[in-house]
Structure 1
Amino acid sequence: MNTLATPLEPLSVSALTAQIKSLLEATFLEVYLQGEISNFTLHKASGHLYFSLKDASSSIRCVMFKGNAKSLAFTPENGLQVIIKGALSLYAPRGEYQVICHSLTQSGKGSLSAQYEALKKSLESKGYFAQSRKKPLPPFPKKIALLTSLSGAALQDMKRVASTRWNLTKLVCFDTLTQGEQAGAHIAHNIAYADSFFGTDNAFDIIVIGRGGGSMEDLWGFNEEIVANAIFYARTPIVSAVGHEIDFVISDFVADLRAATPSACMEIILPDKREWLLRLDEIRAQYDTSAQHSLAKAQKLCDHLLELYQQKSYANTLSFASEQLGQLRTGLNATMAQILQAKGAIYATQALQYEQLPLLREREYALLTLAKELQALDPKRLVRENFAQILRNGKPVQVGELRGDDEIELCDGVNLARARVLSL
């Protein structure tokens, strides 16, 4: 007789989490750990402490509740090397395990932070961070080397921003280890390789080293001296775009420019095509205005030069001289006409006088005769010659014209006497 196998009943997530929690807490009733504090948070409302305990390779979440935190003799902070005693537990809502800290003692500063500060101080004393050695970035890069993981989100973010901001730039990606023990050496190698094209036709305008955010351990490759040396001696401008805005690594200080994030890096080093399109429109409008102004000014100058040319040209000079000659000719003709008219009048008068010359001579002879007669009758002359003029009725008469009993007047030009003729 065949029997059917009874299938396993599926567990709920909560049931599985409860089983794991029971197993963990039963197995790790007490743990004793040493490491460096990171991501420290003091919850002000509850008074609980939340942080991670880490070393060079791993980290684990920790919580210390308010009751245990009150007994601490120091204030926890990031970078401190501490020893904790506690128990392993699982936080069911998120399915994450964590250490419930019962005690926390300080064992000195964290080794990673100490290494970071020591290297930073050493490089700064050598002038690695000096602004005077920073190389300027070209405003319109044609070719950029991206040194990051090909599988990381940082690369996709940079490509996305570049495509929308300025798609005329060629991006060349170098697959680079950005996390782990070999990360520092690999970053330095790729920097040297990309920089080796400097001065050739295949040279890069900018080298970008970057990755997304993470813990200090995750970003440690960018804190190594080999990377700082590679950046310092590179001839190509280098931008460090590592982590988030609050993350600072050694490469940020040595690089020619530090970007808060990979996306922000592309916004900084690439021009905005929309802004430049607006600028080009403004420049074109200014050019049109300037060109119109220049053309108007040139047209005005040409008109002025043409006017000067016309004033100085032989044709216009000849035309003006001809016009003046014509005016002079007209004036001369008018003057000659007036002269001829005047001369004609004189000639006519003279001709008339010539025709009347015999009559004039006759009249002249008569006038001379009358003059002699008048002269003979001149009283002064008569006085001088003891003569008196005889007047009858106021008119001169001769003695022979007198008759007896005529009343006459005798005048010598001075005296007047009345007389009667007695007889002749």
Structure 2
Amino acid sequence: MNSPISVSSLNAQIKSLLETTFIQVYVEGEVSNLTYHNSGHIYFSVKDKSSTISCVMFRGNAKYLKFQLEVGQKIVITGNLTVYAPRGNYQLLCNKIEPSGQGALALAFEQLKNKLEEKGYFNPEIKKQLPKYPKKIALVTSATGAAIEDMKKVASHRWPLVEFILVPALVQGEGAAFDISNSIKYADNLNCDIMIVGRGGGSIEDLWAFNEEIVANAIYEASTPIISAVGHEVDYLISDFVSDVRAATPSNAVEIALPDINEHRIYLDSLANEYNNKIKTIFYNKEQDVFNLKRLFEQNSIESKFNFITSEIKFLRSSFDNDISQKLIKANNDLDLLKRTFQNNSDQVLTQAQNQITLLKNSFELNHPDKKDKKGFVQITKDNKIISLENLSTNDVISLQTPKYIAMCTINEVKKQ
């Protein structure tokens, strides 16, 4: 009879057997009992219709997991079996996890996109308008990439008045998302009119930093209008949805941000032509007005009327010479009569006026103050005003005046005769 072994020995044998037998396994199942631990480890189970197995993904591998595990999600696990001897439990140690039926990056993209959409990051109403004529643009991109040169080239042809400020950032690899986020925050404090965040084309893995939530948060919180310009036309990233404007490429971002100087030149030429045409039209209309006024003036001028009358007179003379002569003679006679009558009336008016002047002159001379100096006659004034004797009262102070003398008096008594 075999001697018994200890539980620890049995578990140790099982551990050795399982871990050496199932070195690498591929398991497909549905996630359940999911726990994201504060340590960074992920604990969960995968199950099918009949069985369940415990799983763990330690922090070292979990940090490379691009998508978020969810209960009920179907996944494919690459890993190996391990046994926890103290409790006799075995579990699947996950080295890599992929969503079943689709790529991990695609699932991670959709998960973050849905999350940010629910938070309102994509709301069109919060998108900021780009200024029409930016003076300064911040470029958050790689300092050594081809994108920066492409953008500078487009700007030099399109609108050379703009100033670019390069804010260098890692655009791929580990730590790129963190660096892009910090660069966006730094550029947001440079008082630029627009910020372009992007890089040239590459694989989905190369562009993945722009799909990270930390970059989305930095774009969302920036006060500067941001254009996302990552990859090529077919590449859509989270930064494209969060930013204020999405550009197909970095070069296209510059085309969107800057006005076209050639279009403005054409527009200025059209304005100049339109202005010249309007000026010519105005001058032509004014010339026509002057011409019409001149013609109207000539038609209604005294000279024109005189010529018309002269022609009429000539016609009448040729037709009715005798009658016209008689009328002219009568008109001359009437004119002579009017002259004589006017002269006579003028003489009469002048004579009457002369007589009136003479009469006034004689009256003035007769009433001159110097000729009123008669014995016993004076002028009575009170307070420098002429006053009648009957208007005086007792104790009134008056002056008696002749043309040569003034006597100051006080009234003692006034009697009526």
> When the two structures are superposed, what TM-score results if normalisation uses the length of structure 2?
0.48
Structure (1 or 2) with the larger CA radius of gyration: 1
> When the two structures are superposed, what TM-score results if normalisation uses the length of structure 1?
0.47
